[in-house]
Chain A
Amino acid sequence: MSWMNIELVLLIVLPAVIAVIMAFSSSFKQRTRNILAVTGAGIELCLVFSLFLLNFEAVKSSEFFLQFTTGYSNTPFVINFAMDNLSLLFSLIVTAAVFLIVIFSTQYIRDKESRYFALFFLVLASIQGSILTADLFTLYLFIEAITVFTTPLISFKKTEKTTRAALQYFFYGITGGVFFFISIILIYFNLGTLKMAAVADSFALISTPMQLTIIIFFLLALLIKLGIFPIHFWLPRAHSACPAPISALLSGVLLKVYLYIFMRLFWTMIAFDFLVELHLSAFVLDLALVSSLIGHVFALQADELKKMLAYSSIGHIGMILAVLMLNTEAAFYGGLLHIIAHMMMKSGLFLSSGYLLRTTLSHHIDDLKGIGHKNRLVFIAFIIICLGTIGMPPLIGFVSKWFVLLAFLEARHYFGAFVVGAGSIIALIYYLRYISQAYETVKTENKTLREELVSLKVFFKSTNIMKNVIYLFTLLIIIFGLSYQFFEMPINTAIFELLNPQKYIELVLGG
């Protein structure tokens, strides 16, 4: 077993260790704590990136595979972590986004930082765990851990609104977890194993009604966690109540992790043919499309900036799920590219909304009057990211939406294509509503030039890191929009994993 295999465990252990240090860091200086947080996330990113670079040839030829096993290796009950191209892609983008969010939150969070970072790094550890794990029970544990650790983060600023949102989020998350547990138990009693690869090998042996039950419980659990239409109303509340970096984490990163788990379960573990055979794939596709439309329509009436962004997240996640359910190569390409694009855009939007809150009273649309005049550059960045979300040509949002649209047209699913187009048009309306409000001219109180300069200097000094992170997200959106081919190789190898689950199964069972 080489050091690379051990690195898999290190990816999970390192954030957990940092979380423990952070929990006892209340006596540290603020600067020390911030440096520790940024270096911790940075080392995590370096670890994942080194895995990518050192195995570049293997990744390119779709042969990349690492695994780590502990326990009695001759029994079916071992703790097993595995990484293939799909998990490498997700691990990479998730860690990169989390790294930027950590840098942002070093300046954004002003009180109880030790508790904040402890919980944040525990969430990061559970995210890495749920991406890397290769057996179902560990997956269940990590999913529950994500729910448990994000709840106190949602109610971080203790007000009535946040507590209510956290409570609702937690009720739904735990109910989803119970459904997930039932499905795991059913699999265990039918097959006597919890290894995903072993389950994949013998899933066809289960009787059809039992297959249906297992799949339905898995679907219920994951649709609750993803916030798809009938069970979506916890999502905008939870995602708008928390501090801005946590909104970015929930909306930008966590929803993608659940999408990854969805792919891992329904393409690697339970072959997608079963979903098609049981007529569930068409149902989920339509549900996701309806959810997408409803998310965009509800975003129209949301009078609060963050609530609007959260509803728009529902719209985008519904679209991604729908396009993945088409189960073609083009659909995977569009879906995975839009996952990356949406991760960058939504994180950027939520972070800049958090920055804008510094200069206004609240996120309500009436309070945003004239905000575009007050902080020009940040608002221009905000507009660029908005345009990316709508789908303007040079930005990455356009490229990914284009591929999604192509996939729908190629599959001759015109309702899907309609939803993509309609979503873009509705998004244009609700973003313009906020942007036009921001450039309303308002009477500003007259300060003397000297006063203004002094206050401006203090303000710039205290917020420059946050600004730079927002500009970085904007730049990334422009650069990757122009050179989206950069993602072509990783995404294509991830698609290879989705289309040939046999490779993953054989390698996990063989080692």
Chain B
Amino acid sequence: MLNLLGEFIGELRVAGIPVSMSEHIDAARAVEVIDLSSRSLLKVTLAATLVKDGDHLAAFNTAFDVFFAVRSWESADELLGDEVRAGSDREGAPGTGAAGPGRARGGGTTSLSAQELSERLFRALMSGEMEALRAGASEAVSRYAGMEAGRPVGGTYYLYRTLRSLDIEALEQRLVEGTVRANADELAERIARDDARARIAQLKAEIEREIRERLVEDRGSQALAKSVRKPLPEDLDVMHANREEMAQLERALRPLSRKLAVRLARKRRRRRRGPVDLRHTVRRSLSTGGVPLDLRFKPPRPAKPEIFVIADVSGSVASFARFTLHLVHAISSQFSKVRSFVFVDGLDEVTRLFDGVEDPADAVARINAEADVIAFDGHSDYGRALTTFHDLYAKDLTKRSTVLILGDARNNYHQAHAELLADLRYRAKAVYWLNPEPTSYWNSGDSIVNLYAPYCDRVIECRTLRQLEAFVGELA
């Protein structure tokens, strides 16, 4: 067990979850005091001792399913070694616990017709019986996934294939119709739909688990762990996120910006103490007989920077720009002023969209519709954008302004106009360039970062939320 635990923790660390030595020891101790025949108890135990952040639970669950598959629970005895065998009364338990899936596997070759299978799944979903659902999922995988031994895949393809053959949408529709009475009102219908969706999600999860377990049998835990490993939300590459990951990022952004704001506000308040507040100090000294034991200070008034954000919102980097705008505006109380500009080949100020809006996400969503950013052909033109910005807004820059430029500097072979950036640099306090591309891609093809770089205080690779948060935190 200890070996297995060690390997499992190794996998968690590779996936990005920080597990310290003392947490490892805690887990080992905790495993000694629990009833190992229960898989779910082991899962909770390991989660409680190893994972200390709610956002990491998803990655933990994936790794756990791979390392401690339900199926291999049958052979738990040999897996766990002496510890379990010592408690003889537990001997029988692993067998019974795993009987459900075991049976299901045995029945994998039954001669159910496609219709019968679908019917069986439908009934399992309606009644909400996990056991029946599991058996159905197993059956569906045997029938439809067409799994081939030894292929180094993570199983998404098999999942897709199984779901398509099952015609999952039709199943969901049937569920809705099965629960809604005729002439039900809108609310009831909506609830039925949500309910159906939740059940279908359950079925999907069951199928995915089944596929994973078969893959584990085929290729072993460690090999599979590598294929199914998913980066933590804060480590996702913003530019290459798919739709689901994008939704994850959106969800991660709000708490992230809230935390950042709290942290910065605290830092600001505690950063330096102002001069001694005599009045307050004397008042305090009254309780110690006039001896000023407890000095009081005036709160400090550090200068807040002014921020100008100039963001490329053309297709390739749009999502990155949206995240940055969201983050900067979420902590706008940390700056004396934030002005935002977006461009493709024309440039438009979007600060007004953020005025009086409670949630920056709403404003960010409106940028696409309301900002006038396309002047010519809709391909990014950094030179043109800089020219417009320089003409209209350069006069507003002062020695307290920081300019942030977001973009990949892929200029579609237009003119660079780097000399304008030099002038902006001269007027402002600092110019930073955030590039969402990996450093190795810079200056390849039509990327002209090196033309602008000499006039920036720093050019920073910024691909993940973690990097973005670190940078914005430094800025304030």
Our verdict on whether A and B bind, yes or no, reads no
